[in-house]
Amino acid sequence: MTRPVLWFPRRLSDATLERAQANYDCIINWEDGLSTPDEIVAMSARVDGIVPCHSEVFSADVVARLGPRLRIIANHSVGVDHCDLSALAARGIAVTNTPDVLSDATAEIAMLLMLGAARRAVEGDRLVRTGAWQVWSPSFMVGKQVTGARLGIIGMGRVGRAFAEKARGFGMEIHYYNRTRLNPEQEQGATFHDAIESLLAVSDFLSLHCPATPETTGLMNAERFSLLPDGAVIVNTARGALVDEAALLAALSSGKLSAAGLDCFQTEPGGNPAFAAHENIFMLPHIGSATGQTRDAMGFRALDNLDAFFRGDRPGDLL
């Protein structure tokens, strides 16, 4: 019996690719370079399924040109803002993602960014690394304390709840905004806000954990930054589109924000070159889920969805 053909446009974990090759005929981009829209379209004529990351964009234009053989896009990601879901549905192409398995790893990065931004990690590292650390005094490198502070979370899904759980270990007072209020067991004493504006007013620290949609693009703009307490810290491990980057720079320059911790940017890869001049921006190159354990789990979740699809069952993560 002919096996389905899969294309892996990025190099996934060794365990994932080993399992995939045992069950499918695989075309693997071992060099791990980015594919152009034309290359995605060309490959779609040769395969039954694609296992993309967020770096492969399936815009309406790309989807309109996809080959008729392609039946499923099994994303190696939770977010699907790189996929035009309506256009794909109209073509009859199934789309899945990989929820649940990366929540803890991403929450860990959010905690790292929050602590690093609050305690001036970029500046401190530079001072020691360059030999510029020549003095010490009680007023030297004073940062913002996390313990006991009020933490606002926008988006209390899996990652938001995992981050809240870790923040409770620092004695933080948890506030959150979500489209719907959590049940008491999930809430665990957190304070629900039915409007973003009331959440911002009490957020000494603010962490973004919502998807990028037309409604959330530019969510944090100049007006909303102005509602935060003076000296607040913002953390973004979700999507770069959530933040108006010019407004963020203005809020940092004015002192409205004391620091920011960012793992995602409007332009990826690359980020925003203007951020480099600001030592109160602690940045990482979109590595929230980058642990070996999580990469294996994401790959296996994508393959679970493919296995279900090709045996005629409904994938567990069908969108």
Does 286 qualify as catalytic in the annotation?
yes
**Tell me, what's the pLDDT at 277?**
96
**Tell me, what's the pLDDT at 42?**
98
Same fold, 5-101+292-310 and 103-283: yes
Please give the single-letter amino acid code of residue 112: L
**Tell me, what's the pLDDT at 45?**
97
**Tell me, what's the pLDDT at 63?**
98
Q: Do residues 114 and 146 lie in contact, with contact meaning Cβ atoms separated by under 8 Å?
A: yes
Residue 1 in this model has a pLDDT that exceeds 80: no
Catalytic residue selected from 69, 179, 268, 314: 268
pLDDT digits (tens, 9 = 90+) for 51-79: 999 999 999 999 999 999 999 999 999 99
With pLDDT > 70 as the criterion, what percentage of the chain qualifies?
A: 100
The CATH fold of domain 103-283: Rossmann fold (3.40.50)
Task: Kindly report the three-state secondary structure assignment for every residue of the chain.
Answer: CCCCEEEECCCCCHHHHHHHHHHCEEEECCCCCCCCHHHHHHHHCCCCEECCCCCCCECHHHHHHCCCCCCEEECCCCCCCCECHHHHHHCCCEEECCCCCCHHHHHHHHHHHHHHHHCCHHHHHHHHHCCCCCCCCCCCCCCCCCCCCEEEEECCCHHHHHHHHHHHCCCCEEEEECCCCCCHHHHCCCEEECCHHHHHHCCCEEEECCCCCCCCCCCECHHHHCCCCCCEEEEECCCHHHECHHHHHHHHHHCCEEEEEECCCCCCCCCCHHHHHCCCEEECCCCCCCCHHHHHHHHHHHHHHHHHHHCCCCCCCEC
Does 224 qualify as catalytic in the annotation?
no
**Tell me, what's the pLDDT at 67?**
97
**Tell me, what's the pLDDT at 111?**
98
- Strand 205-208 relative to strand 72-74: parallel, antiparallel, unpaired? unpaired
Domain ranges (residues) in the chain: 5-101+292-310, 103-283
Q: Rounded mean pLDDT of 154-158? A: 97
pLDDT digits (tens, 9 = 90+) for 3-41: 999 999 999 999 999 999 999 999 999 999 999 999 999
**Tell me, what's the pLDDT at 102?**
95
**Tell me, what's the pLDDT at 183?**
97
Q: Do residues 146 and 172 lie in contact, with contact meaning Cβ atoms separated by under 8 Å?
A: yes
Catalytic residue selected from 76, 209, 286, 295: 286
pLDDT digits (tens, 9 = 90+) for 246-294: 999 999 999 999 999 999 999 999 999 999 999 999 999 999 999 999 9
**Tell me, what's the pLDDT at 301?**
98
Catalytic residue selected from 239, 245, 295, 301: 239
Which CATH number does the domain 5-101+292-310 belong to among 1.10.10.60, 3.50.30.10, 3.40.605.10, 3.40.50.720?
3.40.50.720
171 falls in which pLDDT band (50, 70, 90)? very high
131 falls in which pLDDT band (50, 70, 90)? very high
Does 268 qualify as catalytic in the annotation?
yes
pTM for this prediction = 0.92
